[in-house]
Amino acid sequence: MGKTLVAYFSAEGTTAKVAKKLAEAAKADIFEIEPEKAYGAKDLDWTDPNSRSSREMRDKEYRPPIKNRVDNMAEYGVIYVGFPIWWYVAPTIINTFLESYDLSGKTVIPFATSGGSGMGNTNSELEKSCKGATLKEGKRFKSDVTEEELKKWVEGVQVFAF
């Protein structure tokens, strides 16, 4: 079964806050997915078709490089993977992260932050990056979600995770 990991990418700090609460609620280790080159405000300008994030999201095959790794991934059986919703899906750096490991036999559970956008096509976009893993339906949270709300979600998801 293994340990539980909360891995997250946070462009502006919102997902980091939720990930830290989720790690507490799930009694999980935590890992920040860091891009090789940090995203600045201009990179994140979704209204600019030439911004870095816009270009990355248009090219579904592009995988932004990550500067760090989970050294002991084999120890984890459940991986919550968190991110801000970009264009109704996970940012492609999440695909980079998932494709960097052998996920065989693991359970991957996405969680996202957004003020209003839902999960959209997140699971269908992530499915091919989770080879050998069971990919569970994810959930979007607002930044003010409480640890208690996250704990209830974790308990409900984990009933079906194993």
pLDDT tens track for 42-85: 988 888 988 888 888 888 888 999 999 999 999 999 999 999 99
The reply to whether CATH 3.40.430.10 applies to domain 3-156 is: no
Q: Does 159 score more than 80 pLDDT?
A: no
* Position 124, amino acid: S
Q: Where are the domains of the chain?
A: 3-156
Radius of gyration of the chain (CA): 15
CB burial readout 134-159, b (16+ within 10 A) else e = ebbebbbbeeebeeeebbebbeebee
Confidence of residue 161 (pLDDT cuts 50, 70, 90): very low
Note the pLDDT of residue 61.
86
Torsion of CA 20, 3, 31, 149, to 10 degrees: -20
Of 104, 105, 97, 154, nearest in space to 126 by CA: 97
What is the mean pLDDT of the segment spanning 143-159? 89
% of the chain exceeding 70 in pLDDT: 96
User: Lowest-pLDDT range, 34-38, 58-62, 135-139, 158-162?
Assistant: 158-162
Which structure tokens are listed for 145? 């979600």
Note the pLDDT of residue 73.
97
Instruction: Tell me, yes or no, if the pTM score tops 0.85.
Output: yes
